[in-house]
Structure 1
Amino acid sequence: MAAGRTRRRLGLLLVAATIAGTDLGLKAWATTALDGRPIEGGPVNLQLAFNPGVAFSLAANAPGWIVLAVTGLITAGVAVALWRTAPAGRLLWGVALAAVLGGAAANLIDRAADGVVTDYLHTGWWPTFNLADVFIVCGGLLIVVLSWHADHPRPANEMHDR
């Protein structure tokens, strides 16, 4: 029983680490390959940008250490939620948390180096973003959907009234 819990936790952490590693690799590539040389690719172009804030450049003017500390605390909170819910929770819930954790960790690691997050996906009608952002948003949306369809326990008095 304990081995199964550990295996699921480690598996979901591996998913998060793979997401983070992939995004960090793409950010390293983008920093060298796209510097002053955007690549047009249809609806999504590759274009280098740096964001000192969080989503949609919110808090871009805040001191860097505050942005780093707050995003670090949020990332740690997601990691704790994943660790605590992984053994007994639905696998899809764990995958959603792993996606958010992987994306958040990648952006946190990227920000720690110089106070900005490297973005490289550009649509022209939406702020420039990165793969980590995609995983954070998709994982968050999946959490919302799963929350709507969760089995909610009935209060004890309601169950006895039947």
Structure 2
Amino acid sequence: MRMLVVVAATILGLDLVTKILAVAYVKPGRPVQVIGDVVTLTMLRNPGAAFSMATGMTWLLTLVAIGVVIGVIKIGRTMRSPWWALGLGLVLGGALGNLIDRLFRSPGPLQGHVVDFVSVGWWPVFNVADSAIVCGAVLLVALTLFGFNPDGTRGDAAAEDETDNEAEA
């Protein structure tokens, strides 16, 4: 649980600091080039989810984020795997970062727009929280597919493969 909290707090801190800096220094409609036209800092206030989907459902996205936070904390209490702690910490930190925007940014509570500012090529504009959520989710899916359980044990598929291999030998 300690690792999960440290990862989540680190991601949350990075997300908050980078959003504060982006709001202060990146003006809407005036992107800042970082690596030519490929990587730019572009100020965008996103009322929706990823890729600006569900823009009229900001209140619902806020409630979903609260549910994710509660779910991650519940899973984290029984977890023994450092890899699951990393994945869940990334998801928790990112969810909290975007949740804070939805709760405290304009136009108001449960309707706040998320600050997005990183633009890479043709990919939609995103922020540190979004990156953490995606990376954490990819890690959790990989762990699940390879049979690693949150409690630190290997899943049934992995155990069956090992049993089959031992039986053949």
Please give the range of the TM-score, normalised by the shorter of the 2 chains. Answer: 0.7 to 0.9
Q: 1:79 aligns with which of 73, 76, 98?
A: 73
> What is the match of residue 45 of structure 2?
50
2:100 aligned with 1:109: yes
Unaligned runs of 5+ in 2: 106-111, 148-153
TM-superposed CA distance for 1:120, in Å, is: 0.7
How far the C-alpha of 1:39 sits from its partner, in A, is 0.9
User: CA contact under 8 A between 1:100 and 1:137: conserved in structure 2?
Assistant: yes
1:6-49 deviations in whole A, cap 9, x for unaligned? xxx12320210111111111001100100234211122211110
Structure-1-length-normalised TM-score: 0.82
C-alpha deviation, 1:116, in angstroms: 0.8
State the SS of the aligned residue for 1:41. Answer: strand
Amino acid at match of 2:15: D
Q: Unpaired segments of 5 or more residues in structure 1?
A: 1-8
- 2:129 is equivalent to residue 132 of structure 1: yes
Dislocated runs of 4+, deviation >6 Å:
none
Which TM-score applies when normalising by structure 2?
0.78
Contact 2:69 2:92 in 1 (8 A): yes
SS at match of 1:40: strand
State whether structure 2 residue 44 is matched by structure 1 residue 41. no
Q: Please, which of 88, 91, 105 is the counterpart of residue 97 of structure 1?
A: 88
Q: Aligned pair 1:123/2:120, yes or no?
A: yes
Across the aligned residues of Structure 1 and Structure 2, the Cα RMSD in angstroms comes to: 2.0
- Give SS of 1:84's match: coil
Q: Structure 1 stretch 139-148 or stretch 37-46: which is displaced more?
A: 37-46
In the alignment of these two chains, the number of paired residues is 146
- State the 1:108 CA deviation: 0.6
Out of 149, 153, 157, the position equivalent to 2:156 is 153
Equivalent-residue separation in structure 2 for 1:139 and 1:13 (angstroms): 14
Task: Report the counterpart of residue 13 of structure 1 in structure 2.
Answer: 5
